[in-house]
């Protein structure tokens, strides 16, 4: 009721244990605080908080327009509603190394279990689009060092994302990933890998956990969890999927409403009031009220 029963530190430890478990961790993207309740209810290991989704929900493209305050606020709203560890997209860290340090503090305070910082230049782009540019190695390393040094909770997972594969190719991606690991990154997010063999190559090149981004309409095929586990990937995200699924359904329903004048035919596919209340733990609120208002201590 009201919020999670665990502390951020417990959720960070759970995230680290999951990454070290040898079992693929599956993090669907929670696009709202309510959706993390559903992800938790279905038994997933954690939830991803996507920058692309956050921007889209504000009606903005994912080109670095969202602010640290907006991201931290949303990350807090989502992270506080479940016991699952959350991994948040911190884009390029919102500025220079000192800004990156502040980003880490804000996101730590927001209760996330981990965050990733990427090596794109500002303004950044979706990692699966063409026309991206990356910063030089020194700048990329300084971002990660600043984040690692700023962290107050040693269990906060600092993940380094490299977008260099789509710009300079796989050899450059391997070199950069190694350098980011050496700079203190706890995990590597190799963006826009083309094939399973590339994931495998990356897995062999670094000793920290690696992430696979199974975003739709991107550069990677949508590999199954089994395929990813088989090449040693430690964590998979489905970052924008729930938003795409919801908006696909919403658009179809709006068309139906427009053409038929009723949503009666859509009700069977809707989440019921009962299921919504279950996710909200409505019962517990009733019980709380009953406990307070029926109290007769005299
Ligand atoms: C993972 C990602 O950074 C995100 O913000 O969710 C995006 C996802 C997308 O735009 O499909 C990305 O750059 O891959
Ligand atoms: Mg992003």
- How far is ligand 1, taken at its centre, from the CA of residue 88, in Å? 11
Residue 298: what pLDDT? 63
pLDDT at 42 over 70: yes
Testing ligand 1's pocket by substitution, the residue of 119, 127, 219 carrying the most ligand atoms inside 8 A of its CB is 127
**ipTM surpassing 0.90, yes or no?**
yes
Residue 126: what pLDDT? 84
Q: Worst-scoring range by mean pLDDT, 82-86, 224-228, 291-295? A: 291-295
**Which is the closest atom of ligand 1 to the Cα of 192?**
14
- How far is ligand 2, taken at its centre, from the CA of residue 50, in Å? 6
pLDDT at 296 over 70: no
Testing ligand 1's pocket by substitution, the residue of 93, 240, 244 carrying the most ligand atoms inside 8 A of its CB is 240
Active site residues: 48, 62, 89, 91, 116, 118, 126, 161, 191, 213
pLDDT band at 127 (very low <50, low <70, confident <90, very high): confident
pLDDT at 285 over 70: yes
Q: Which two tokens stand for residue 281?
A: 């733990």
Of 8, 58, 7, nearest to 31 by C-alpha is 58
- How far is ligand 1, taken at its centre, from the CA of residue 49, in Å? 10
Question: Which residue is closest in CA terms to ligand 1's atom 1?
Answer: 239
- How far is ligand 2, taken at its centre, from the CA of residue 45, in Å? 20
pLDDT band at 295 (very low <50, low <70, confident <90, very high): low
pLDDT band at 128 (very low <50, low <70, confident <90, very high): confident
Of the listed ligands, the closest to the CA of 56 is: 1
Of the listed ligands, the closest to the CA of 215 is: 1
pLDDT digits (tens, 9 = 90+) for 146-160: 999 999 999 999 999
Residue 217: what pLDDT? 95
pLDDT digits (tens, 9 = 90+) for 163-186: 999 999 999 999 999 999 999 999
Judging by DSSP bridges, how do beta strands 25-28 and 47-49 pair with one another?
unpaired
């Amino acid at each position: 009721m009201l919020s999670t029963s665990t502390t951020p530190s417990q959720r960070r430890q759970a995230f680290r244990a999951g990454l070290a478990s040898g079992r693929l961790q599956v993090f669907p993207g929670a696009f709202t605080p309510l959706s993390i309740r559903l992800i938790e209810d279905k038994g997933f290991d954690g939830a991803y908080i996507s920058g692309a989704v956050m921007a889209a929900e504000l009606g903005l493209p994912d080109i670095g327009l969202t602010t640290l305050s907006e991201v931290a606020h949303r990350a807090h709203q989502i992270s506080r509603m479940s016991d699952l560890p959350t991994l948040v997209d911190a884009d390029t860290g919102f500025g220079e190394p000192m800004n990156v340090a502040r980003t880490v503090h804000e996101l730590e305070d927001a209760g996330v279990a981990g965050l990733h910082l990427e090596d794109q230049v500002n303004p950044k782009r979706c990692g699966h689009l063409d026309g991206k540019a990356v910063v030089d190695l020194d700048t990329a390393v300084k971002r990660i060092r600043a984040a690692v040094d700023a962290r107050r909770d040693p269990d906060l997972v600092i993940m380094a994302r490299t977008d260099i594969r789509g710009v300079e190719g796989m050899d450059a991606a391997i070199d950069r990933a190694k350098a980011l690991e050496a700079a203190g990154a706890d995990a590597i997010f190799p963006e826009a890998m083309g094939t399973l063999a590339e994931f495998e190559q990356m897995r062999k090149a670094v000793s920290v956990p690696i992430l696979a981004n199974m975003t739709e309409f991107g550069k990677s095929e949508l590999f199954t969890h089994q395929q990813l586990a088989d090449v040693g990937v430690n964590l998979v995200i489905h970052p924008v999927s729930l938003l795409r699924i919801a908006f696909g359904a919403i658009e179809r329903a709006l068309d139906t409403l427009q053409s038929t004048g009723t949503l009666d035919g859509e009700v069977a596919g809707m989440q019921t009031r009962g299921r919504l209340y279950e996710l909200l733990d409505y019962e517990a609120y009733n019980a709380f009220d009953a406990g307070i208002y029926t109290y007769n201590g005299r």
